[in-house]
Amino acid sequence: MGETPPFGRLADRGYWIGAAVLLLGGSLLSASGAIYPQNTMLQIGPIVLIAIALPWIGRRWPLSRTSWNCLIGFLMVHLFAAHWTYSDVPYDRWLAAIGIDLQGLLGSSRNMFDRAVHFCFGLLIVRPIVEIESVYARVNRRLAYRLAILFVLASSAAYEIFEWTVAIIASPENAEAYNGQQGDVFDAQKDMWMATAGAIVALLLMHRGYRRWRQE
């Protein structure tokens, strides 16, 4: 399998090893001085396991470099946010330092970084899912697009349920803070919508790229 048009050149062993080192380094930086160290293992532990298994996963289920870039990119975004927890990333202070009042522009004092991460999930997970469906399940492209949207919706719902379950079991009194609701009773639904919006954007970009490839 040298080429997988139109998904691009497949990742090789050197790529997987480099990606594993990147994830392990990111995990170390994310854990170092984490604002809520009690959550570190829960948020970073799975990434460490993924990094260790990555060369085996890459050999077992080869994907294009572009798809792996999307997956690794999302995991790095997660590690970045996990250092503070999603709803406490101080992006407003960073922007204020260069004269940008994003909270004022949005008309809300809510920390929106968690929404951005959910959007990134939909945006970055779709291409690998479509590639897996197309290459391994032999699904036609139109159906692969629909199934990718359903995957994003289902996985987003499963994550919200898992997050809620862990919170009420581990620390019921801090469940709202752990979930990052910030007082919004519709937080889970909005997070799912952001992931779906990201997926729609990704599919539009993929379809445009696919049509261009077909015309070449």
- Residues 96, 199 share a domain: yes
Q: How long, in residues, is the chain?
A: 216
Residues of the chain with pLDDT under 50: 1-4, 216
Please state, in angstroms and rounded to a whole number, the distance separating the CA atoms of residues 27 and 23. 6
In a domain, 195, yes or no: yes
Tell me, yes or no, whether 100 and 199 share the same domain: yes
Amino acid 88: pLDDT: 84
Residues 65 and 92 in one domain: no
pTM of the model: 0.86
Quickly tell me which residue has 């260790």 as its tokens. 52
What pLDDT, on the 0 to 100 scale, is given for residue 192?
93
Q: Is 131 exposed, middle or buried (0-12, 13-18, 19+ CB in 10 A)?
A: buried
In the prediction, which pLDDT does 68 show? 94
Q: How far is CA 162 from CA 44, 142, 159, 179, in A?
A: 16, 30, 5, 10
Provide the residue range defining the domain that includes 68: 10-84
- pLDDT tens for each residue of 152-194: 999 999 988 887 787 677 656 555 555 555 666 678 888 999 9
Q: How many domains does the chain have?
A: 2
Strands (E), 82-171: none
Q: Is residue 171 part of a domain?
A: yes
Residues 93 and 166 in one domain: yes
